[in-house]
Structure 1
Amino acid sequence: MASTTISGLNSGLNIPSIVESLVAAEKGPKEAQLNRLEKATTAKITGVGQLKSAIADLQTILKDMNKAELFQKRTATSSDTKLVTASATKDALAGTYKVDVERLATSSKVATATISGGSSATFASGGTLTVKLGDTELAPVNIAANASLKDIRDAINTQLKDQGVSANIVTDSSTVPATSRLLLSSTKTGSDANLGMTGTGDLAALNIAQYDPDSGTPPVANVHLSVAANAKFSIDGLAMENATNSVADYIEGVTINLVGPTEAGKPITLTVDQDKSSITSNIKKFVDAYNKLITTTSSLTAVSAVGEDKAPVTGALVGDASVRTLLSAARNELANASGDGEIRILADLGITTQKDGTLKIDDTKLGKALNENFESVASFFTGETGLMNRVNAKLDPYARTGGILEQRLSGLNGTINSVDDQREALSRRVEQLQSRLLAQFNAMDSLVGQLNQTSSRLEQAFKSLPGLVKS
């Protein structure tokens, strides 16, 4: 702010202090008014933001619970997950089954004859190795001349990894020279997945005879280390086999995972049912989100006394009509009955309204409603006329893009911008006032100086008059 410093030497006045006081008297009330307006508006912006966030959280769970697939989920529960686990799709029908596991499905592991020289032994001619997995002959593995056993292992691992076949070397260092064997393993299970291998040239030393489970002859010791076999199990006493330990569609919509064999006469109980725990969890999320909206609005519209001699503390949105309208609309929908089933209002689910407006769940009554009237619960919450869609329709005008709250925020931000503009205008007006006052006081002080000079000259003139007698 520009200023002109004058001392008030002629008038004897402290002109800078006087001007400063006059400027402050002019600026103070308006500046205080703008500060109050900015503080109140900022608080309202924060309050509207909190309200919008609480509505958005509630809308998220409302939309999630309005999905029919939520009520179509099924659970498959095992009495012993260390031996059997399971999962179910929406196509699964409720039921209880007894599962016995006699044997898990296994994969094949085989070994070559011993190779003198250990893992460094070389095969001069090179050539190809052909691995057979059941009835499938895998792509030939090309082996370079003079390749070592290690090189062959690496070639198999590189070229057959996508077929689930891997190789390793076991070395017996107690012999002189050391001897090694090449091991092949497969990830594929089932009786038609036994491994075998043939080689050309001097790679024939790595031949492995494929085990035939239908031959009636036992596997060869130290060659067929693990025989591929089907899983053997029974469901409600019906004996079955499967090539893998993941058993799908034996019960429609249910996948059973065999983990370990069961004890004789002690089958695992598998229970397929509606996913009631997921429904219960989502209902609790809905209640929590609704209660958050209620507590948020209560805080924003509260008036709290802080003492006899102090003004009460008021919430940022005290007296806001839009908050009252929003809550009224939401509460009316929660109280309205809908549908023609056993579940028509929230109280039928054990969900009641408390004195402070929040909801409370009676877990026992909710569990009973889900057990006895599951389909009615689903129709109560979902669909065009379901509770979730109706409540969301009441909230949407407030929270959507361009909605009531966004317009409100736009207006409040406009007020903040107006406060900034008024502050700039006040600053210019005060600067002009200061300049004008300094100019006026400067002129006054100059005039006083001139009058003092005139007074001094007159006094000297009077003293010079003849016959003037000094007293």
Structure 2
Amino acid sequence: MAGISGIGGSGLDIDSIVSKMVAAEKAPKQDQLTATQSKATAQLTAIGSLKGAISEFQTALTTLNSPTSFQARAVTLSKSDYLTATASTSASVGSYQVAVTQLAGSSKVALASLPATVTTTASDGTKSSSPTTFGKGTLSIKVGDTKLSDIQVDATNNTLSGIRDAINKAGQSQGISASVVNDDTGSRLVLSSTKTGDGNDISVSVSGDDGSGSQSLTKLAYTPSDKDSTDPAAAHSLSKAKSAQMTIDGLKVTSASNTVSNAVDGLSFTLKATTPADSPMTVGVSQDESGVKGNIKGFVDAYNKLMGVIKTQTSVTKVGDNSSPIAAALVGDATARGLTTTIRGELGTMQGTGAVKALADLGITTQKDGTLAIDDTKLSKMVSSNFSDLSSFFTGDQGIAARLKGKLDPYTMTNGILEQRSNSLSTTLKNVDAQTATLNTRMTALSDRLYKQYNAMDQLYSSLSTTASSLSQQLAAMPFANKS
């Protein structure tokens, strides 16, 4: 409710008085709500950071708990110019002498050369040129035993460019393409296939040619042959389809494509170039020790990040000699404290009877600040000499990865510790909003009441002032008032 200072003549600044009284009444409760809101918001953010760090740690644990991560294979090549290779977990550890003697190739055919245009002479002797046309009919194109959709040639597409476009449209999904090439003998269609392997050569047959064009459609026919015509204008093969050939430890392997995946169990080769004669390359398959080390380091990094988040959110920072220390959002929080105790306790547990019974056996030790550090030399030595024991230590229901994950699951599961904590904090924030709205409503009512009271007082003051003035005037007018 708006007020006007001194409306009755009292001279009081009613607006200032009311606003200060309302502020004084509101301040204690508002400060309490603001403090509660700030604390709950900070804790909610901290819980979110904690949950994210736990999730990353769980991902690292899941990777370590996968037996396949310890069964992975690494491939080494003595030369990298001729092929690439990958190995699955089923590949046997060992080495192979490999030579690439022929790469797989696809078919490319130049059809018969024809005049690009036809010249006609009118009755008046005027000459004109027009594109070479073909009669109506059907072109059938095959790649090996695979037949492309028939190409219907009619008045709408009976030129070289029209037939080219029809082939490209029909062959798009089957790896067949066509282009028009103008060489020294004329214009011709050149057909290309992407299908490699012996016998996958392009052939073209014609049916239903009505001979209505300037050229017969049958001139576009082509049948693969071991020996093409020597006439440069005739149809001929530019490249024949062929299979890849290689030897593995002297054994000949033939593949329809340059990807060879069924020659050695678990090994896949992608051929890039032929090797020099009598100069095979070595392909080695070994346990992926580097990958395992990377997974272990990923586990340590994720753990250290989690400990770092907990430390940040539970620390007390001293600002100065005369200032109050700054406490992080989760100082004294039982959730963070319990999580730290649980994880560290599990890390120190001994297990098994093999060479790896504890993280310390791998060169992983706890530092003064609670983080883990790796002795890379010791880890590399243990990975190389006790590879099978690593899998037993990390994987399985009793492995350290599963045990740690089991300790973390109650925190991150649906309706788990962190979710319940987050829900509680969210409820607190909603309550703060509701209490703030109630407080504002109450302060508005208080303001209205005070304005009414002070305005009434101001009006009373004005009325009393008027009465006093009137009485003074009446007394001054009485006869005795002028006697000395």
TM-score, with length taken from structure 2: 0.82
Cα displacement string for residues 44-71 of structure 1 (whole angstroms, at most 9, x for unaligned residues): 2222222122222222332333333333
Offset from partner CA, 1:190-248 (integer Å, 9 cap, x none): 33223343435533333434224xxxxx6655523223333232112223333322222
- CA distance in structure 2 between the aligned counterparts of 1:10 and 1:208, rounded to whole angstroms: 115
Count residues with an aligned counterpart. Answer: 459
Gapped runs of 5+ residues in structure 1? Answer: 213-217
Q: Could you tell me how far apart the structure 1 residues matched to 2:441 and 2:145 are?
A: 94
Q: Does 1:149 align with 2:160?
A: yes
Q: Percent identity?
A: 43
Task: Give yes or no for the alignment of 1:188 onto 2:195.
Answer: yes
Aligned-partner Cα distance in 2 for 1:158–1:11: 96
Pairwise mapping of residues 54-453 of structure 1 onto structure 2 (< 5 A)?
Answer: 54-117=53-116, 120-124=131-135, 126-134=136-144, 141-144=151-154, 147-172=158-183, 179-200=186-207, 202-212=216-226, 223-434=236-447, 446=460, 450=464, 453=467
Say if 2:57 is the partner of 1:47: no
> Any idea what the Cα deviations from partners look like across 1:285-320, whole Å, max 9, x if unmatched?
322222111111111111111111111111011111
Assess, with a 3 A threshold, how the Cα gap between structure 1 residues 442 and 372 changes in structure 2: closer, same or farther: same
Q: CA deviation at 1:154?
A: 3.5
Q: Which moved more, 1:245-254 or 1:18-27?
A: 18-27
State the alpha-carbon separation in 1 of the partners of residues 451 and 148 from structure 2: 102
CA offset digits 1:411-433 (Å, max 9, x no partner): 22222233333334434444455
Q: 2:126 corresponds to which residue? A: none
Q: CA separation in 2, counterparts of 1:203 and 1:13?
A: 110
Contact in 2 for aligned 1:110/1:224 (Cα 8 Å): yes
Distance in 2 between residues matched to 1:128 and 1:8, nearest whole Å: 104
Structure 1 residues 262, 220: CA separation in 2 closer, same or farther (over 3 Å shift)?
Answer: farther
Structure 1 461/399 Cα, relative in aligned 2: closer, same or farther at 3 Å? same
- Compared CA separation, residues 88 and 118, structure 1 to 2 (3 A): farther
Partner of 2:32: 33
Aligned AA (1:199)? V
SS at match of 1:122: coil
Q: Is the 8 A contact 1:76 1:254 kept in 2?
A: no
| Alignment CA distance shift 1:171-1:345 (3 Å) | same
Q: Distance in 2 between matches of 1:163 and 1:313?
A: 70
Offset at residue 98 of structure 1 (A): 1.4
Q: Is the 8 A contact 2:111 2:222 kept in 1?
A: yes
Distance in 2, matches of 1:410 and 1:102, equals: 67
Q: Distance in 2 between the 1:206 and 1:24 partners?
A: 97
SS in 1 for 2:200: coil
- Distance in 2 between residues matched to 1:206 and 1:152, nearest whole Å: 10
The CA distance in 2 between the partners of 1:16 and 1:195, in whole Å, is 97
- Three-state SS of the structure 2 residue aligned to 1:249 is coil
Change (3 A) 1:72 1:220: farther
Letter in 2 for 1:365: K
Take 2:69 and 2:395, find their aligned partners in 1: how far apart are those partners?
10
- Structure 1 pair 163/309, CA: closer, same or farther in 2 (3 Å)? closer
Distance in 1 (alpha carbons) for counterparts of 2:161 and 2:453: 105
Shift of 1:97: 1.0
> Structure 2: which amino acid aligns with 1:422?
Q
Aligned CA-pair RMSD:
3.5
What's the offset of the Cα at 1:112?
A: 3.2
Amino acid at match of 1:147: N
